[in-house]
Structure 1
Amino acid sequence: MAAPTIPEPVASFLAAVNRHDEQAFLDAFAPDGAVDDWGRTFTGREQIKTWSDKEFIGSHGTLTVEEVDTAGDTVTVIGDWRSNHANGRSRFVFDVHGDKLAKMTIREG
């Protein structure tokens, strides 16, 4: 089975995550972008970086994409997340504005 097609800028973002490229990860977000990690919201690159240092890039996470759905400016990616912090099937919902991520929401897959 072919891998699902992931639209930009989400595809580049996920590639940055999987290679643990913190700068590309942060640059993918709009300056006022946000991460909603199971109801905890981190807004702006400084807060996102602090969260990520412990729970995302800093925990050497990787995502194996299993499903992708696109509806307008929203891209939903479901996959197997593996890291030193948390593991399991997760749902990542990306709100895209132009070539940046306005928000990434993480929930159980």
Structure 2
Amino acid sequence: MTTTALPDAIRAFIDATNSGDSDAFAAAFTEDAYLEDWGRGFHGRDGVLSWDRTDNIGKRSHFDLVGIEPGSHSDAYVVTLTVSGDGYNGTGPMVFELRGGLIARLIIS
């Protein structure tokens, strides 16, 4: 994979998940963020927190960074993570779009 610096918001997303800190997790996203997990959409920080409870920290997820590549524009990144915990377990890409240093859009597929 291409060597690309990991943006602070994506690092916060990973670190907050691994430490089980839902407040820090939500703070990594914009107020109007959109998160899509295999076709299920979650809107705003409330939606992000809902997903976090049911599919992420609520499932004791742990992320290990495999790699990061530039996305389709300057504030987009394709981040490959290995996920373990009581929910999904496996390795795959997540597409992040940032705005103002925060996650504005996250697509998991």
TM-score range, shorter chain: 0.7 to 0.9
Task: Kindly indicate which of the two structures has a greater share of residues assigned to helix.
Answer: 2
Read off the aligned partner of 2:108 and give its amino acid letter. I
- State the partner residue of 2:6: 6
Relative distance call for 1:85 and 1:56 in structure 2 (3 A) is same
Q: Which amino acid in the other structure matches residue 98 of structure 1?
A: G
CA contact (8 A) 1:76 1:93 kept: yes
SS of the residue corresponding to residue 86 of structure 1 reads coil
1:7 positional shift:
2.0
Tell me the alpha carbon deviations over residues 49-93 of structure 1, each in whole angstroms, 9 at most, x when there is no partner: 122101111111011111111241001110211121111112111
Gap runs ≥5 in structure 1: none
| CA-based RMSD | 1.6
Which SS does the other structure have where 2:26 is aligned?
Answer: helix
Question: Conserved in 2, the CA contact under 8 Å of 1:95 and 1:101?
Answer: yes
**TM-score normalised according to structure 2 size:** 0.87
Aligned length: 105
Runs of 4+ in 1 over 2 A off after TM superposition: none
Provide the residue aligned with 1:99 in structure 2.
101
Structure 2 residue identity aligned to 1:7? P
Give the Cα separation in 1 of the matches to 2:37 and 2:19: 21
Which sections of structure 2, spanning at least 5 residues, go unmatched? none
* One-letter identity of the residue aligned with 1:42: F
Counterpart of 1:44, as a letter, is G
CA 4–97 in structure 1, closer or farther in 2 if over 3 Å, else same: closer
